[in-house]
Structure formats: C-alpha cells, structure tokens
Chain A
Amino acid sequence: DAKTTQPPSMDCAEGRAANLPCNHSTISGNEYVYWYRQIHSQGPQYIIHGLKNNETNEMASLIITEDRKSSTLILPHATLRDTAVYYCIVRVDRSGGSNYKLTFGKGTLLTVNP
C-alpha cells in the first residue's frame, strides 16, 4: 500500500473550517483514500473514504485532486470535540482478498482552539 505524508500538527479556530492535507503521490489506481481520527485514549474512528470523486458525509468532505496524488479532509465547522489525531491512509481494495491491513502513519494532530 502507498505511503502518505501529513503535517504533524495544525491549529484551527472553533467554528472555522479545518482543512487537513495529505500527500499520497505514489498511490495506485486501485487504492482508496481513507481518513480516520483518534481522540485521546479512544480507538480510531472512521471518517470518510474515496477513490477518485470528492465525497461528503455528515462528518466531513474529502477532496481528491484529479491526479489523485493528494487529498484534503475538510471539517466544515470545527468544534472543540474535533481535537484529535487525523490519519490519512491509502488502501488497496483487493477483490476476494484481505484489505483490512491498514498502514497508519503519524497522522496530524488537529487542535481546535476556542
């Protein structure tokens, strides 16, 4: 699975949009981009994933560049409870094969300030 590069930390003001970048320049055509976050002392939580198109759900939006070499997770209105480590992961979807081996990097510590 391709490696990802994320900034180690970011700050965001409460109520503002948080834009978390991720570089995955070696991504392959069959690799999805997944985002998870981990709030202190809890297990990681799934946020969103995508292949080529931009995606949106109740938690966030995922913007993937046309060449798929990078993506941005957008939390539209960050709250204090969004303070967490955010992981960007690329993962192969192997039909008929295991695809639950996730390779977590260091992630980005997002701190939402009041």
Chain B
Amino acid sequence: KAGVTQTPRYLIKTRGQQVTLSCSPISGHRSVSWYQQTPGQGLQFLFEYFSETQRNKGNFPGRFSGRQFSNSRSEMNVSTLELGDSALYLCASSLGYGLAGGSNTGELFFGEGSRLTVL
C-alpha cells in the first residue's frame, strides 16, 4: 500500500512569491492534515480537511490556505512568502473523522514532507 505522497520534496522561492504544495493521502484515507515544522517552533498544526471541508484550523495567518478535492488529495497554498515561512511542511492522512476506536486507531500517517526555502 503506497504511503502519503508529497510533492515537491524541495523548493526554493523568494519573498513575495506564492507556493502550492500537494499531498496524496493513503488510498481510502479521507482525512488530511497539514503541519509546519521549523527548528524554533517545532511541529505546528496548520489545518485539517475531511470530505473537502476544513474541519480544524491552527493559528496561522490567512496567507496559509488549503483545500481538499473529491479524491481526498489536498493542496496547501502560502501567498506572499516571508523568510519565516521557510520550513518543512508535512502532510498526514488518516482513515476518518471523529472516532479513534474500532478499526480507526486515530493514528496519522505522515508523508516525507516538502522542504520550502524562502530567500
């Protein structure tokens, strides 16, 4: 079973530009979450999508946005890039929404991440 796929793996942008990152969840998984990881702040939750709807959102400015498609694939976009946006952006998928019991352990499966460098 293929894991979570994130593209691109590495990218370099300049301040003011915008970037779109893509995430393909594990087949059958309907929930996709995004996290930002920096040396200073660690892993921080960005947002979560289920059935094309944003279900939860972290404390990030409106420059950070996302969406989920009917096939559960997700994209996140960062507009007007700042130097501080340089980070590893991680996508995680999970079976469902809500219950952590039964066949859904509630565990998240993370991708390898997209490493963004803003110059």
Binding site for B on A (CB under 8 A): 32, 34, 36, 42-46, 49, 87, 91, 93-107
Closest residue of chain B to A102 (Cβ to Cβ) is: B45
A101 touches B107 (CB 8 A): no
* Contact in complex: A43, B105 (CB < 8 Å): no
Tell yes or no: B31 within 8 A of A by CB. yes
B: interface residue count bin: 20 to 34
Q: In the complex, are the beta carbons of B50 and A43 less than 8 A apart?
A: no
Q: Interface on B for A, CB 8 Å cutoff?
A: 4, 31, 33, 35, 42-45, 48, 50, 55-56, 58, 90, 92, 94, 97-101, 105-113
Chain A residues with Cβ below 8 Å from B106 are 32, 34, 49, 91, 93, 99-100
Known A-B contacts A43-B4, A44-B90; the reply to A99 vs B45 at CB < 8 A is no
Interface contact A103-B45, CB-CB below 8 Å: yes
Q: Is the CB of B58 within 8 A of A100?
A: no
- 7 sampled A-B residue pairs with Cβ under 8 A: A42-B113, A46-B107, A49-B107, A93-B106, A98-B98, A102-B108, A104-B35
B4, B35, B42, B113: the one within 8 Å of A105 (CB): B42
